[in-house]
Chains A and B, each alone.
Chain A
Amino acid sequence: MIPLRRLLLLVLLTLTACSQGAPADRAGSRGPGANGSSFVTGSIGEPSTLIPTLATDTSSSDIAGLVYNGLVRYDKNLKLEGDLAESWEVSPDGLQITFHLRRGVKWHDGKDFTSRDVLYTYRVTVDPKTPTAYAEDFKQVQSAEAPDDYTFKVRYAKPFAPALASWGMNILPAHLLEGKDITKSPLARSPIGTGPYTFKEWIPGQRLILEANPNYWEGKPRLSRYVYRIIPDSSTMYMELKAGGVDMMGLSPVQYQRQTNTKEFLARFNKYRYPASAYTYLGYNLRLPMFQDARVRRAITCAINKEEIIQGVLLGMGQIAHGPYKPGTWAYKAKVENDPAYDPARAQALLREAGYVMGADGILAKDGKPLSFTILTNQGNDQRLKAAQIIQMRLKKVGIDVKIRVVEWASFLTNFIDKGKFEAVLLGWTISQDPDLFDVWHSSKTGPKELNFINYKNPELDRLIVEGRGTFDMEKRRDCYYRIQEILAKDQPYTFLYVPDALPVVSSRIKGIEPAPAGIMHNFIKWYVE
């Protein structure tokens, strides 16, 4: 037991040795600008698999998006353009799409890309043995064929407008996968695609490294390396950003507004701001008699000050949502009739009209039943909780009693949403590029685990949704979606709250960034370092 003191001494020595060793390397590799023409970005999550057909998480698609291509893609103005397909035609009856594939495109292992790869990707996705979440996209396909190496034809049973966008699905290399079990393929950990970056290495839990593809058909990307660091904590990521350890991250509204306006920060970083493709809403369970009266739902919307929520929750970094589309996109209608604005007096009038009278306790009631409900939201999203609290305060002022309940995500889904056991929910949706609303709003989608869980059924809306997805004519589609926005504004099955802003920040050593409606990543391969 005597060596104990010696041990202590040893420990102390090691400690001092460590702290002396550190400053020697002060000008080491971590200073700002030391990454050369590597681009380092941080991610909270780690990709699960790099075979995009099997993945469902955003981290996986971040990487897959740089390694693979689809036949089509959205350009910076969110219009579809050719990617691996040079062009395409839709037959006059809208039933057949013919893709003319780009020639001379090579897989990262040097093999030619051909229509065989497209056909394989389609087949493996619809194969019942493949555990994929994306088979739905291709379910409407009646037949697919590859008449020659650079032509690919698909036939649909009826015209289906979202079909075109579904061919943005990443195309997999048939020569490496055909006849093999896709779930056991090594490509999941080291992918081979046709995209601007080739896979270099993946150190689990730490980082993925991609390298510029010198043979990329659009030209070699100017940033030679793409490093995807896994940093699960956003405060840590922010420190890394400031210390030069990452070049780009998404800021929170507080960071954007309050912590990054110093001269020093603005000299080292460029901040960007544009609407994100998402909206937050308050949804009502329309199975309940209380919410079946549209006047009640309109009244609630009138009582909520959406601007105040944006100020309080997002510090102003967002805009009011009126419907399910992103402001500025082609399906979005800027001026919607009947859209209830903030007007507490009108809210009270509407509630009186619906038969509610003010009780002695300051709560409205009808037939002895108080107008009271619980807003349910998921744990871990502070913005939603704050929004619910602001709504609670506003509704109290017009005589509606609101309680708030926060539930863990899994239990939220299984115990409340799936069983229809909720009154109102505060949640968000991502806004997809194609404006088709079938999955969330069509009355056929009200079954268990389906997305119209508020049970909204409106025959006119159903008709318009089906009409909108049944034609390739943009004018006709837009008319449908404009009309849909008017109906939703009048009915208020949701109170659409806000569209938050995406707030990316990029090190100022990175040049060539062009903000556009699609965000900033659309011309990533043209970014460069001076």
Chain B
Amino acid sequence: MANYLIKRILMLIPLLLGITLITFTVIHLAPGEPVEMQTAMSPKVSAQSRARLREFYGLDKPLHVQYAKWLGNLSRLDFGRSFAPDNRPVLDKIKERIPITISLNVIALILEFGLALPIGILAAVHRDTLLDRAISFFVFVGFAVPTFWLALLCMYFFGVKLSWLPISGIHSLGSEQLPFFGRVLDLAKHLVLPIAIATFGSLAGLSRYMRSTMIEVLSQDYITTARAKGVKERVVIYRHALKNALLPVITLLGFSLPALIGGSVIFETIFSIPGMGQLFYQGVMARDYPLVMGILVIGACLTLIGNLLADVSYALADPRIRHGKG
């Protein structure tokens, strides 16, 4: 096991290098560069000012020199400074956005798993009944309805018409003066709509997945055996079937690790949530290379770690794999 782990971890290094090289190339292949995006069509900017800006950002150097410099900095965990006019360290920009994104995603993820798994099981157990169809209908509505549209409707209904919930942002004006509990309540109120809508939209995938694995497990011989022995149906489902049906879910959990720092642009834009999705989108639109690369590297690391964790925990959870590999 230890050998296997070390091998896997060592493998990550060339993989990561490859990822950075490809992303660096791709992002530079896109037309336009930061200076261009900042100064295009502005009558005030002369060719000299443009050259001055390019030199300031180091864009006048050949691409491989820029890459080597960036990689050198990265090896010292320095993500560089943003190419936006504020020229702030990329890490600062990411740091101020990551807490809200992670908290939102963690809550949404817990809700998603907490709701989708039972829903999927319920549908599998009551397969082909009215209940199953109603559940399918419900989750597919969530999947099919465009988030932005649903969000706007909910904002209008709960925010403008009923004024129960705030419409956008994550804090009310003047919420700093509230006591701690008031601040938490204020934040919670702001998060109800975004989280509810995000969860609703993501139920379909996981619950359908759960339903089909559960159905598959329920048709296994050992389930039939258990039933034949006269084990109670509840025990059959929740002890014998569920344990096995949940195994693949571990892999899914591993895959959702990188998603924790990624945010949806549309979603964050609609709700004015200053998260990673917006930051990344703005970075791409402004061709803010260091920022985009920074976010991609963090995302790539998390993906690789997530995969590793999924593999390892799968091995730990499933004796067949554990014993097979040794």
Q: Which A residues have a C-beta under 8 Å from some C-beta of B?
A: 1-2, 4-5, 7-8, 10-11, 18-19, 21-23, 25-26, 28-31, 35, 38, 40, 48-49, 54-57, 60, 128, 130-137, 139, 183-184, 188-189, 203-207, 227, 229-233, 235-236, 239-240, 242-243, 245, 409-411, 413-415, 432, 439-440, 447, 449-451
Contact = CB atoms under 8 A, between A and B. Distances in A.
Interface residues of B, number: 73
Nearest to B57: A131
Interface stretch (B136-144, B155-163, B212-220, B290-298): B155-163
Q: Which 5 A-B pairs give the minimum distances between C-beta atoms?
A: A205-B274, A410-B32, A439-B43, A414-B31, A131-B56
Contacts of B252: none
A1 B243 contact: yes
- From DSSP, what is the main secondary structure of chain B's interface residues? helix
A310 B269 CA distance: 30
A230 B41 contact: no
A103 B272 CA distance: 43
B44 interface: yes
B117 interface: yes
Contacts of B279: 205
Contact of B115 (A8, A233, A240): A8
B165 interface: yes
B192 A7 contact: no
A229 B167 contact: no
B224 interface: no
Given A48-B84, A183-B87, A410 B114 contact: no
A409 B41 CA distance: 11
Contacts of B118: 4-5, 8
A131 B165 contact: no
B299 interface: no
Q: Which of B48, B164, B166, B173 has the most CB of A within 10 A?
A: B173
Given A2-B238, A8-B115, A188-B86, A239 B163 contact: no
A227 to B, nearest CB: 6
15 contacts: A11-B110, A29-B172, A55-B85, A57-B85, A131-B52, A134-B49, A188-B87, A205-B273, A231-B272, A235-B270, A236-B152, A239-B156, A242-B160, A410-B37, A411-B32
Nearest to A136: B46
B90 to A, nearest CB: 14
Nearest to A128: B52
A135 B41 contact: no
B12 interface: no
A413 B86 contact: no
A439 B41 CA distance: 10
B269 A233 contact: yes
A30 B163 contact: yes
A40 B173 contact: yes
A449 B167 CA distance: 42
B105 interface: no
B207 interface: no
A242 B167 CA distance: 10
B242 interface: yes
Contacts of B274: 204-206, 230
B231 interface: no
Interface in B192-235: 192
Contacts of A10: 114
B53 interface: yes
A317 B42 CA distance: 26
A48 B189 contact: no
Nearest to B169: A206
Contacts of A206: 169-171, 272, 274
A229 B155 CA distance: 17
Contacts of A21: 185, 188-189
A18 B287 CA distance: 40
A31 B172 CA distance: 12
Given A242-B160, A411-B31, A411-B32, 14 more contacts: A18-B189, A25-B189, A49-B85, A56-B85, A133-B42, A136-B46, A188-B87, A204-B274, A231-B169, A236-B272, A239-B168, A240-B168, A409-B32, A414-B36
B300 interface: no
B45 A133 contact: yes
A116 to B, nearest CB: 25
B11 interface: no
Contacts of B301: none
B40 interface: yes
B10 interface: no
Nearest to B274: A205
